[in-house]
Amino acid sequence: MLHALIKKNGTVFTSLLKIITLGGFIAFTGIAFAEPLRLAVASNFTSPIQKLAPIFEQETGHKIQLSFGSSGKFFAQIQHGAPFDVFLSADQAKPDKLIEKGLALESSQIIYAKGALALWSASLKSVDPVDKTLLEARKIAIANPKLAPYGKAAKETLTKLALWSKLKGKLVQGENIGQTYQFTYSKNADVGFVALSQVLAGDVKGHYWKVPNSYHSAIKQSAVVLSSSHQKEVANAFLAFLMRADIQQKIASFGYQTTPQ
């Protein structure tokens, strides 16, 4: 039956076949020549990278493909062959570990941003004075100190304020800083320790207190080129782009610290 159909519509089929072959050829060569640079980006850097990537694309003509997620998940995926070229982690430990395992290039490693922590509230009229706000809050959101660098910094801040043991009972933990923001945004937590970059990018301004850098160890966000990348040159060019003075200035305006501490 198929045979008869082909015979009957022979010409239609041949031209269809031609179109399909041609289309396939175009698609194939297209991919071969303009394979996008694939970035695995820690969720706290979502909004900045969405603004920075188009600038790089425009300057160089290289396409960028963004994936967002937690650094821990990307670490596990990269270990098992996930096809990324560059990993922008929320910390320094995971890129270090990838280098140790030979999965990332040591020479490529940069600190592209230093995180700034903020105590933020969407519901309260003010977060000042800080100790009083924290002591009176019913729920305080922080990122999981075991998993997220911003969570670790929040814990260090509370320890520095000598409030950690007092407040422990009302802490709720987000799996990452994105979820911590959500808990505070929805007002389920009265206050939350979130990334300053989130507060500045968000549509609800609320009130915030920028935690002084001296209250916690630096949140160094490190990026590396992965050993499995087929386009290490473009990847390195992208990391160099991130370190350029004008781009670093932009990163600072998104709520990060860029000056060396």
Partner 1 sequence: MSLSPGDLEAIWLTLKLAVLVTSLLLIISTPIAWWLARTQSWLKAPINAIVAMPLVLPPTVLGFYLLLFLGPDGALGSALNSLGLSPLPFSFSGLVVASMIYSLPFVVQPIQNAFSAMGQRPLEVAATLRASPWDRFIHVALPLAKPGYLSAAVLGFAHTVGEFGVILMIGGNIEGETRVLSVQIYDHVEALEYGQAHLLSLLMVAFAFCVLALLYSLQKRTKSTPHFGPY
Residues that bind partner 1 (CB under 8 A): 70, 72-73, 75-76, 97, 123, 138-139, 141, 144, 146-147, 171-175, 179, 182-183, 186-189
For residues 36 and 69, which CB has a smaller minimum distance to partner 1 in the complex? 69
Which stretches of the chain are DSSP H helices?
Answer: 2-8, 10-33, 46-60, 71-79, 93-100, 130-136, 149-160, 164-167, 177-185, 196-201, 232-243, 245-253
CB of 172 to partner 1, least distance (A): 3
Residue closer to partner 1 (CB basis): 226 or 234: 226
Structure tokens at 201: 């990018």
Nearest distance in Å: CB 185, partner 1: 9
Q: How far is the CB of 4 from partner 1 (least distance, A)?
A: 43
Residue number, 73 or 250, with CB nearest to partner 1: 73
Closest CA to 106 of 96, 114, 120, 117: 96
The residue type of 156 is E
Report the residue number, 36 or 202, with the smaller CB distance to partner 1. 202
CB of 187 to partner 1, least distance (A): 5
Report, in Å, the least distance between residue 176 CB and partner 1: 9
Q: Which is nearer to partner 1, 97 or 232 (CB)?
A: 97
Distance between CA atoms of residues 44 and 259, nearest Å: 19
Give the integer Cα–Cα distance in Å for 239 and 232: 10
Tally of CB atoms within 10 A around 156: 17
